[in-house]
Structure 1
Amino acid sequence: MHTYITRRILILIPMLLVITFLIYLGIELMPGDAVSFMIGPEAAANIPIERLDELRESLGLNDPFLIRYFRWLGGIFKGDFGYSLSSGVPISQIVFSRLPATIELAIAALLFSTLLGSILGIISALKKGSILDNVLTVAGMIGLSLPQFFFGLVAIVIFSLNLGWLPVGGRMMPGYEKFLDRLPHLILPAIVLGSSLTGGVMRYARNSMLESLNKDFIKTARSKGLPEWRVNFIHGFRVAMTPVVVLVGFRLPMLVGGTVVIEEVFQWPGMGKEFLSAVRGQDLPLVMMIALFTVSAVLIASFLIDILTALIDPRVRLE
């Protein structure tokens, strides 16, 4: 097991380095530089070229690409993420102030989609070929194909504007800091975000449950005269949930970076909304760090899922 973990770490490190290089290269290929974004084209037209060159030299923008890349990478290793071009605030302060809101929304959506998708998937598997199975399959396909922004706007119109049950958007009212105070604001965006994930979880749970019910140990349990509910939920359900657990493990880091649409629709003050604002304002250092953070979270989650899978199934370590 130690050899397997070491091998996975040795693979993870160069992957992270390659990703940092690709992110920096992508920003480098964009037209303009930090000075042009900070000053703006209109203001830059009234500033002497010599002054702009001096400013680029002081910021190190005239250095070769690789030197600037390794300087940026070294700053990351030291915990220096740079500063936002639009606000001048340290990027680390922006990221860590927005991250709790995104994690809160992502976990709520993940719990909702996992519980609902697993229950519906198991019911669909146990009722295979029935009308209920067909209805749930169609509903799952609709959930996967329905655009999140459309579903979010419809939910706001129905539950916020017409019925008045839930707030339109935001994370909390001024002066309220407890989780229970934020809960009404969390329900609607979490359900909308989780609904788009429920269909995938339901499909995984259904297929895994059907495969589990065809295993020999299930036939053995039935031959011993065990009740059907015990065969399905004690023996079949436990094995069927392994692929779903792996899926959920991958979904969480993807949700952290994939809540842009929902956070914009519901004005949720998280990483996704901040990333969209940084792109609009051409705040390149902030865009780079949010992108790097999101991709790194996906890779680290993949590493942890590999370790968890190896613990569950020793054949993975042997392969």
Structure 2
Amino acid sequence: MLTYIIRRILILIPMAFAICFLVYLGLELTPGDAVSYMINPDALGSMNPEQLEALRQSLGLGQPFHVRFWVWFTNLLQGNFGYSTTGGVPISSIIATRLPATLELAGVALVISTVLGSLLGVFSALKRGTVTDSALTVIGMLGVSIPEFFFGLVAILVFGLNLGWLPVGGRSMPGDITFLDRLPHLVMPSLVLSIMLTAGVMRYARSSMLDALSRDFIKTARSKGLPEWRVNALHGFRVALTPVVVLIGFRLPVLIGGSVIIEQVFQWPGIGNEFISAVRSQDYPVVMSIALLTVMAVLLASLIVDVLTALIDPRVRLGA
């Protein structure tokens, strides 16, 4: 197993390096001087042309492209993403401030959708052909088809404005310190964000469970006189879990990047909201840094999915 994990990590390293190269190339092609996003804009405004030229030389901006890329890449490994061209603050501090809010929202939505979607999908498979199965199938289709922002607006209108049960926006109120204090603000956006993923997990779990129940080893387990719950839970569900794990693993970075709309609807102070603000203000370094962060999350999710799949199904690592 350790050899399999090391092999997967070694495969991801050149992919991550190539992605960093493409991001830097995008920064090079964006309008403006590279100095404007490598140092604090306040310090930049107080410099004369001679000082700016000396600064460019000291930063290696007169060097060939591959040398400049290597300097940027080594700074990136040290956590130095440069500066925002509009706010003048380090991009690393922006990410450190905004990312926890997005991870909190995406993490809760992922847990809700995983548990609820898996249970409903398995239950629908066990009730195949019944009214319950048909109803759950229709609900799943609606969850996949209707945009998330529509559910968000309906939730704000019903539970926030009409009933007054939950706050309509923001992450916290003044004085909120603990997670439980912020929980009322988290309920609506996390539930809305989990709707589409719950529907997807439910459909995958149902199809996978039906496929597992038709296998010969299920018939063998039943012929041995095992209880039906044991056959379904220990034999069927374990095999059906593999494609569901793959779906869930790759949905985590999608939740991080796809929370842009939900963060806008609920004014959630996360990385998605910051991304929209950076696009509107043409703050290219922030845009590219967030894009790099999202892509790296995809690579990390790929590694996690491979490891979990190998743990669930030993044939994966043996076949590798």
Deviation at 1:316, TM superposition (A): 2.1
Aligned residues: 309
Aligned residue type for 1:81 = F
Provide the rounded CA distance (Å) in 1 between the counterparts of 2:277 and 2:30.
18
The TM-score normalised by the length of structure 1 is 0.88
Is the 1:56–1:62 contact (alpha carbons within 8 Å) kept by the matching residues of 2? no
Q: Residues 84 and 91 of structure 1 are in contact (CA less than 8 Å); yes or no, is this contact kept in structure 2? A: yes
- 1:253-292 pair list within 5 angstroms: 253-292=253-292
Does residue 228 of structure 1 match 2:228?
yes
Correspondence for 1:248: 248
Q: For residue 241 of structure 2, what is the amino acid of its counterpart?
A: M
C-alpha contact (below 8 Å) 1:37/1:282 kept by paired residues: no
Which whole-Å deviations, capped at 9, do the CAs of 1:151-210 have from their partners, x for residues lacking one? 211111111111111101100001111111111100000010000111110011001111
Alignment partners' CA distance in 1, 2:86 and 2:276: 13
Q: 1:58 aligns with which of 44, 55, 59?
A: 55
The alignment partner of 2:27 has SS state of helix
What's the counterpart of residue 141 of structure 1? 141
Q: Flag the 1:316–1:227 CA change in 2: closer, same or farther, 3 A.
A: closer
Residue identity opposite 2:139 in structure 1: A
CA–CA separation in structure 2 for the residues paired with 1:305 and 1:152: 30
Contact 1:105–1:189 (8 Å) recurs in 2 = yes
Q: Report the more deviating stretch, 209-218 or 29-38.
A: 29-38
Alpha-carbon contact 1:121-1:206 (below 8 Å) kept: yes
2-structure distance, mates of 1:37, 1:89:
10
Q: 1:222 offset after TM fit, Å?
A: 1.9
State the SS of the aligned residue for 1:68: helix
Code of the residue aligned with 1:313 in structure 2: it is: D
CA deviation after TM superposition for structure 1 residue 12, in Å: 0.8
Give the equivalent residue in structure 1 for 2:199.
Answer: 199
Alpha-carbon distance, 1:314 to partner: 2.9
Alignment deviations for residues 1-27 of structure 1 (CA, whole Å, 9 cap, x no partner): 444333322211110011111122223
Q: Which amino acid aligns with 1:72?
A: W
CA distance in 1, matches of 2:33, 2:150: 36
Post-superposition CA distance 1:76-115 (Å, at most 9, x none) = 1222221222222222111111111111101110111112
Report if the CA contact (8 A) 1:264-1:273 is conserved. yes
Gaps of 5+ in 1: 39-46
| Distance in structure 1 (CA, Å) of the matches to 2:199 and 2:147 | 13
Change in 2 beyond 3 A, CA 1:158/1:242: same
More displaced 10-residue stretch of structure 1: 114-123 or 50-59: 50-59
Distance, in Å, in 2 between the alignment partners of 1:90 and 1:148 is 32
Maintained 8 Å contact 2:37/2:285: no
What is aligned with 1:83?
83
Question: Which residue in the other structure is 1:151 paired with?
Answer: 151
- 1:42 corresponds in structure 2 to none
User: Which stretch shifts more, 78-87 or 264-273?
Assistant: 78-87
Measure, in 1, the Cα distance between the counterparts of 2:64 and 2:288: 19
Provide the aligned C-alpha RMSD in A.
2.4
Q: SS at the partner of 2:86? A: coil
**What's the TM-score, normalizing by structure 2?**
0.88
Per the alignment, do residues 53 and 7 of structure 1 end up closer, same or farther by CA in structure 2, a change over 3 Å counting? farther
* Corresponding residue for residue 132 of structure 2: 132
CA contact (8 A) 2:114 2:198 kept: yes
Q: CA 1:53–1:8 in 2, change beyond 3 Å: closer, same or farther?
A: farther
Q: CA deviation at 1:226?
A: 3.1
Q: Secondary structure at the match of 1:169?
A: coil
Summarize deviations over 1:57-82 as a string: whole Å, max 9, x none: 63455554333322211111222221
Indicate conservation of the 8 Å contact 1:34/1:284, yes or no: no
